[in-house]
Structure 1
Amino acid sequence: MRILLFTGKGGVGKTTLAAATAAALAGRGRKTLVVSTDPAHSLGDAFGLLLTAEPSEVDICLHAVQVDSRSLVDDVWQDLRSQLRSALSGAGIESLDAEELTVLPGVDEVLALTEVQRLAESGPWDTVVVDCGPTAETLRLLALPEAISGYLTKLFGKQAKLGLGSRRWNNVGESVRRLGTHLESLRTLLTDPSITTVRLVLTPERVVVAEARRTLSALALRGIRVDGLIANRLMPAPGFWRGSAASWLRTRRNQQNEVLTELAAAGLGADVVRPVEHRAVEPVGLPALLEIAGELYNGTDPLTGYGKGVTPLLQVSEVDGGYRLRIALPLGRDTPLDLARVDDDLAITVDGFRRLIALPALLRPCEILHAESDAEGLLVSLARTGGKR
């Protein structure tokens, strides 16, 4: 089974391209489910159908579903939260503290991701295409399994410190452990490049491209593979046409070409970015979506991706007196970056996104000398110390 996640800045057309890709996969005979976790609920509009929280047949081999995360919160999380609050209050924790400990930020998003996993694993699907929300929401969504695991660790840490052993706590302990195990399985699913990859949608505009580059860095930090970018709504070339309309089109297309050239100079060229021209008519329904897919994939398998994708996050090479650690992050020239050593971890902060990366055992006794960035990412030099940090 394969999972393709489509995301991009709001308004770039990711829903249409996710629907078009799903239609193309189904047209090749693959049993395909396209799922929307975007609260905007526009996937049904792309197909011209009313979708529900259960898979609806769109065509042979193609089903679609709109995840209702609010309903999932009401059905799944509230019972466990009530049990936790009761257990913590009964163990001597003030009611306000218990309320705070059981308010889980982003629970609706993580339950939406959980529902995607359930649908993927319980159905007959060969491929699941996910229409995610805008990039900021998607990055938060993809970071939640790791973040909530830390929350649970904090919760259990407080329980252990207070020596909680009441029957009331024991009644919910197993439920929380199961939640932790499930979150770990979600993280594993997202970071397995043989299963899950991301298609990042953008329009050829500098503001949008800047956000796309930040998204690439953030996804690389989380070990999630991007297998291609789609430059959507490229203006058609006016050729030898004359007149004010042709002049406007020519100027706009030249601006877009400049942006694509800058992307190519940054290592994101034609082998990674694929263009889709702007349509005069809003693409709604299977025929229009399949036309877009034909332009986008040009007869190739939509599952293969476009280029090598994001390289492995960490690569280690030995040099005289120490090692070099390559961290594959697509960084802009002026990208704010902070690097720090925290015990056996490397704390990397890029454009406000922070992650602790566990250093390979080989590098843990080493001392960081310096770091520099180039077209391939961040290069950290470390010296052997012989001791342990």
Structure 2
Amino acid sequence: MAAAGAVGKRRRATNSTGLLGGGQRGTLLVTLDRDSPVPEMVGVYPTRGRPVPISSDASLLSLDPLSVLEPAWSNFTEAIGASGGPTLPVVSVLGSVAPGELTSLPGFEELLLLRRIRDEATSGRWTTVVVDCSGLGDPFALLRAPAALSQTIDRLWPRHRRLAAASERPVLARVSAAVDEVDRDCRDVIDLLSDPHTTAAHLVVDSGPRGERQLPRLAALAALTALPVRQVSGNDGTAAVVSAGFEAVAAAAAAGLGAVTTRIPAVDGPLDRVARLRRLGILVEPPSGAPVGTAAAVVDRVEGSGLQAVYEMRWHQPLPDPSALGLGRAGDDLLVTISGFRFPVRLPSVLRRCSVTGATWDDDELCVRFAPDPAVWPTRPTA
């Protein structure tokens, strides 16, 4: 589906060109699966980390997570080691880990993959970048990684402490800068993924009973992670039996995200060349410019003022299982858990000085209530 979308026709955006711009540049298809069938399907030999042309206007970039991780980790540990003096214990431990010892540092590998995709998207070489996430166990785990890693960095070594340490102990300046760079990349990727002017996500599931069960959860996680979904597609070609109720479930999921629905019919014969992929007629919807889910959250003061004020934060949030909703707080983030998936939602500045007092959910809208925390709420000086 991703390959067919990359080599097929694309609808032009009418409201915004986003970061990728316009013009006659080509399309880049990115695969993240080491065993992806796409290179064989389009008849090319993949060169890891370098785009390879697959048609007159499309190229393929095959990313191997480990090959992206090792050189970046070497650069990071080199910056840490260049300080030449004592550092924080956790930083020293990280600096002692060799690239070859890494198998999976939580969130770091995923961030590097997304950063590599971001660099291609903002390079000016491509009109469209299509990312194939089908080889991943849970695509939303990939999308959550930058937010989770940024939160971990902030908890282990908050930015204000990093800046203070760098100013008081110049030997830590390079260490602080290296950590800051990782944190900036996290926030940059988060902004790119949730930017409705640049990103258009496509949920593709089989149109059988399994896809019908998956869609409500996927729609809920898309709203939670602010992923701007533009299209919900049912793939008849991978469904053993097409479900009679699939269209209704897909329409409900798409309506809540402001997306459209499509059905991809099964085809005879193998999809083993670009010409056959094009016959599928896959159209890649452009970004809409409309934020979804937590990116479209509304914050209002509904009662009182000062320390007696009550604030509400509301956004459209489907819940496949309302009893599995969980809320927590960690620093400047609201931790929301839906169907076993936890995501840190960054709070606006006024709510960072508040405590959560309760929450309600009705008609697919989640409303979280806050009250000012006297310990950190600013007060007016008395005369």
Give the superposition deviation at 1:156: 3.2
Correspondence for 2:286 among 280, 301, 304: 304
| Contact 1:36–1:65 (CA under 8 A) maintained in structure 2 | yes
Per-residue deviation, 1:148:
2.1
Q: Secondary structure at the match of 2:343?
A: strand
- 1:31 is the counterpart of 2:34: no
CA distance in 2, matches of 1:234, 1:93: 53
State the superposition RMSD in angstroms.
Answer: 4.1
- The answer on whether the counterparts of 1:72 and 1:112 sit within 8 Å (CA) in structure 2 is yes
Partner residue, 2:362: 373
Q: What residue in structure 2 maps to residue 244 of structure 1?
A: none
Contact 2:3 2:29 in 1 (8 A): yes
Determine helix, strand or coil for the equivalent of 2:66: helix
SS at structure 1 position matched to 2:204: strand
- Bigger drift between 83-92 and 36-45 goes to 83-92
Q: Tell me which residue corresponds to 1:12.
A: none
Task: Output aligned runs, 1:205-284, within 5 Å.
Answer: 205-233=208-236, 252-253=241-242, 256-264=243-251, 272-284=260-272
Contact 1:272 1:309 in 2 (8 A): no
2:182, 2:210 → 1: CA distance? 39
Alignment deviations for residues 79-114 of structure 1 (CA, whole Å, 9 cap, x no partner): 322553686984473898556999742322221111
Tell me by how many angstroms 1:127 deviates.
Answer: 0.9
Aligned to 1:68: 64
Given that 2:36 and 2:135 are in contact with CA atoms closer than 8 Å, whether structure 1 keeps it comes out as no
Q: Does 1:348 align with 2:351?
A: no
CA contact (8 A) 2:196 2:290 kept: no
The TM-score normalised by the length of structure 2 is 0.74
Deviation digits for residues 160-215 of structure 1, max 9, x if unmatched? 69968666533433233223222222222112110112111100233333333323
Contact 1:372-1:379 within 8 A present in 2 as well: yes
| Number of residue-to-residue matches in the alignment | 349
Residue 297 (structure 2) aligned to one of 310, 314, 317 = 314
Aligned residue for 2:33, secondary structure, equals coil
Tell me: CA distance 1:157–1:326, structure 2 relative to 1, closer, same or farther (3 Å): closer
- Residues 25 and 361 of structure 1, relative CA distance in 2, 3 Å threshold: same
Runs of 5+ unmatched residues, structure 1: 1-16, 237-248
- State how far apart, in whole Å, the 1-side matches of 2:181 and 2:163 are: 21
Q: Secondary structure at the match of 1:178?
A: helix
Q: Is residue 42 of structure 1 aligned with residue 37 of structure 2?
A: yes
State the shift of 1:348 in Å: 1.9
Structure 2 counterpart of 1:153, one-letter code: D
- Residue of structure 1 in register with 2:381 after alignment: none
Kindly indicate whether residue 316 of structure 2 is the aligned counterpart of residue 328 of structure 1: yes
Q: Distance in 2 between matches of 1:65 and 1:386?
A: 49
> Is 1:185 matched up with 2:154?
no
Q: Which amino acid aligns with 2:3?
A: A
Q: 1:306 to 1:212 in 2, by over 3 A?
A: farther
Q: 1:88 to 1:232 in 2, by over 3 A?
A: farther
The Cα offsets for residues 353-383 of structure 1, whole Å up to 9 and x where unpaired, read as 2234344566666874540232x33244x48
In structure 2, the CA distance between the partners of 1:173 and 1:316, relative to structure 1 (3 Å rule), is closer
Deviations 1:272-296 (A, max 9, x none): 221001122221211111111x2x4
Amino acid at match of 1:151: T
CA distance in 1, matches of 2:90, 2:330: 33
Partners of 1:319 and 1:157 in 2: how far apart?
32
For residues 258 and 54 of structure 1, the distance between their equivalents in structure 2, rounded to whole angstroms, comes to 43
Cα distance in 2 for partners of 1:383, 1:151 equals: 24
Structure 2 match to 1:7: none
Deviations 1:140-164 (CA, angstroms, capped at 9, x unpaired): 2212222222333344359769968
Match of 2:21 in 1: none
Match of 2:307 in 1: none
Cα distance in 1, alignment partners of residues 151 and 183 from structure 2:
9
Matches within 5 A, 1:40-119: 40-52=35-47, 53-84=49-80, 90-91=86-87, 93=89, 97-98=93-94, 104-119=105-120
| Distance in 2 of aligned mates of 1:359 and 1:27 | 35
